[in-house]
Amino acid sequence: MLIRVTEAQPVANPSNISSAKPLRLVVLASGFGSLLQSMLEMLDTAKVEIVAVGSDKDCPALERAQKLQIPTFKVPFDAEAKKDRTGWDLRFLEAVSAYSPDMIVSAGFMRILGESFVEAFKDRIINTHPALLPSFPGAHAVLDALDYGVKVTGTTVHVVDTGVDTGPILAQEPVVVERDDTVETLHERIKVVERRLLVDVLHSIADRGMDRDGRKAYLK
């Protein structure tokens, strides 16, 4: 049964998460699920437990989770949702809240999260981005970096706020741009770093939590 929005309770402040139990993680995905797969392979389950995988549509990421008997949920973003985005946001909030997550990871989830959802899980949603934010936000970060001619790009793990790739930065790691790089070759190298960095961040939050100071966020 889905929890009503009025009953949805924040489970933990990231600064107070205890390492005495696994961090409860809900993963949101919309596509193939390669980032989800790397998390499944690399996460220390004594520290972080993926309690559910959710999406806004049928996708291979849900199938990956189902094969491993991880609970999944889907809140379709259909014609009705397009007419009533607020209603969809509330239904999505209910679906996620049912799993009482400590943290939420947007792992290739291509829907911008609504303000009500972000506020309900304030400072507990994290996302990865294939560039060194605030440079090259948006859906074409790798192409934009190549077109601009930067010599170094990278990956960012950040807290999600109500903007697009504007939340406080938790961790970053550079990736050198080679002269003969294409979008595909550069993105593949970024993905390797991104997967490891995300897991490192999640382990750190599970062990010691995180702090937020205005625009700044810190791993303890």
User: Is residue 192 classed as helix, strand or coil in its secondary structure?
Assistant: helix
112 is known to lie in a ligand binding site: yes
C-alpha distances in Å from residue 133, one per residue of 64, 146, 166: 30, 15, 8
User: In which region does residue 215 sit, left (phi positive, over 0), alpha (psi from -120 to 50) or beta (all else)?
Assistant: alpha
- Dihedral over Cα of 119, 170, 31, 43: its sign: negative
- Dihedral angle at the C-alpha atoms of 3, 101, 65, 161, nearest 10 degrees? 100
Catalytic position from the list 129, 158, 187, 203: 129
190 is known to lie in a ligand binding site: no
13 is known to lie in a ligand binding site: no
127 is known to lie in a ligand binding site: yes
- Structure-token pair, residue 124: 């507990």
113 is known to lie in a ligand binding site: yes
- Dihedral over Cα of 143, 64, 89, 213: its sign: negative
208 is known to lie in a ligand binding site: no
Give exposure, 46-85, as e/b (b: 16+ Cβ within 10 Å): ebbbbbbbbbbeebebbebbeeeebebbebebeeebeeee
Catalytic residue status for 187: no
Which residues belong to the annotated binding site? Answer: 85, 110-113, 127
Which residues belong to the annotated binding site for (6R)-10-formyltetrahydrofolate? Answer: 85, 110-113, 127
**Residues taking part in catalysis:** 129
